[in-house]
Structure 1
Amino acid sequence: MWVSAGTAAMVSGAFTRTSPVWRQEQPMRLVLLLLLAAVLAGPGSPAGAQCRLCGSAPGLGEPATAATPMRLEVETRLDFDRLVLRSPAGGQARLGPDGSRSLAGVEEIGGRAFAGTIVIRGEAGRLVRIDLPAEIRMSGIGGGQIRITDLVSDAPAVARLDSSGLLRVRLGGRLDISGEAEGDYRGEIPITVEYL
């Protein structure tokens, strides 16, 4: 039984087999949440309280300059490669952020599994928090589902952008496959990155 394990981190798309290569058909979409706060200086007046963030009310200082907008780019897709189930009981494939692999109940037939890599660009030296979902369900056209669980990265929960405003993060996870998992799958893997 063939299983498309060509899932892509942070990507919404369909994967189809084109004998025997899988390719992504829909454009990538990323979820990126930024928390920006405007800080007001000086005492406010009662009229200023109605328009605290507009900066034109009397007695209000200028709002703080917004941080450099953050961008998230997919450098390498999280790709478990092509897998064959050994039995109808199902199986799983683990792929670590360092590229390490382990298989249970499945055989890898392509030898090209890759940990995902994202690049975060933003304000130099800023602390950021990276949140990964606990589980992703990918649905097949025929109604089957596969799950990606235990998503992990090589970054600490609170990381710092370097002096050029760059942070490269590698991702891995566990792909759980049931006995009826043959087919093409769709799913989204949202990643939330926010300034601290």
Structure 2
Amino acid sequence: MICANFRPVLPVLMLMLGAMVFLPDSAVAQCRLCAAQPSDASSSRSSGEADKPLSIEITTNLDFSRFALLNRTGGEVELDPASGQRRFSGGIADLGGLSLHGEGRLTGEPGRLVRVQLPERITLSAPNGATADLVKLDTDLPAQARLDRDGRLTFTFGGKLRVTGSASGQFRGRIAITANYE
């Protein structure tokens, strides 16, 4: 889609890019709970009780909003996982709009340590066949994340969207987030 309302600073073809990563409204954590877990001294469960399954619910989808590709070398848009702030590098210009870092909620056994893993790279696609890569996904979680006394933990996530060539369109994809008890 060509952006008609944007005046190019450089005499190059301006392409409007809308990049959004939609995640399922509710995704269940991959299960590694089938095998017996060693007891956690910080947990309040007794040795005879079974683990409460760990689940993930995505409450806010990752959305990079709108930007324009200034040249064929492309560039990157980074969404900070904690603040949600966008940073642009390379041949990309900000076209405004509201960007959102993703947010998820884990639910499981109160007091348990958990580990959240994100994929290293995801290829997003637009309806016109164009692609872009989502890389360096990260969360705002500390190294040792723990469910609270109600068995919940909310976290945010972000990453970098790399666009090259003449890619344009509204990019979409799914992020496979894995969460496990430690």
**TM over 0.5, yes or no?**
yes
Structure 1 residue 103 displacement after superposition: 0.5
The answer to whether 1:30 aligns with 2:27 is yes
Identity %: 38
Larger Rg: 1
Give the equivalent residue in structure 1 for 2:132.
146
The answer to whether 1:71 aligns with 2:55 is yes
Instruction: Give the one of 21, 26, 35 matched to 1:7.
Output: 21
CA distance in 2, matches of 1:65, 1:95: 41
The gaps in structure 1 that reach 5 residues or longer are 12-26, 40-62
Structure 1 residue 168 displacement after superposition: 0.8
Give the equivalent residue in structure 2 for 1:117.
103
**8 Å contact 1:31–1:190 — kept in the other structure?**
no
The answer to whether 1:88 aligns with 2:72 is yes
**8 Å contact 2:122–2:173 — kept in the other structure?**
yes
Closer, same or farther in 2 for the Cα pair 1:101/1:185, shift >3 Å?
closer
CA distance in 2, matches of 1:193, 1:92: 28
CA distance in 1, matches of 2:156, 2:170: 25
CA distance in 1, matches of 2:61, 2:167: 21
Structure 1 residue 81 displacement after superposition: 0.5
Cα deviation per residue 1:2-27 (whole Å; 9 max; x = unaligned)?
1121223xx2xxxxxxxxxxxxxxx6
TM-score by length of 1: 0.72
Give the equivalent residue in structure 2 for 1:107.
93
Partner of 2:64, secondary structure, is coil
The gaps in structure 2 that reach 5 residues or longer are 1-14, 38-46
Structure 1 residue 64 displacement after superposition: 4.3
Partner of 2:27, secondary structure, is coil
Structure 1 residue 83 displacement after superposition: 1.2
Structure 1 residue 157 displacement after superposition: 3.8
**8 Å contact 1:138–1:187 — kept in the other structure?**
yes
CA distance in 2, matches of 1:38, 1:172: 33
**8 Å contact 2:124–2:132 — kept in the other structure?**
yes
Structure 1 residue 191 displacement after superposition: 0.4
Instruction: Give the one of 123, 140, 146 matched to 1:137.
Output: 123
Give the equivalent residue in structure 2 for 1:167.
153
CA distance in 2, matches of 1:66, 1:35: 13
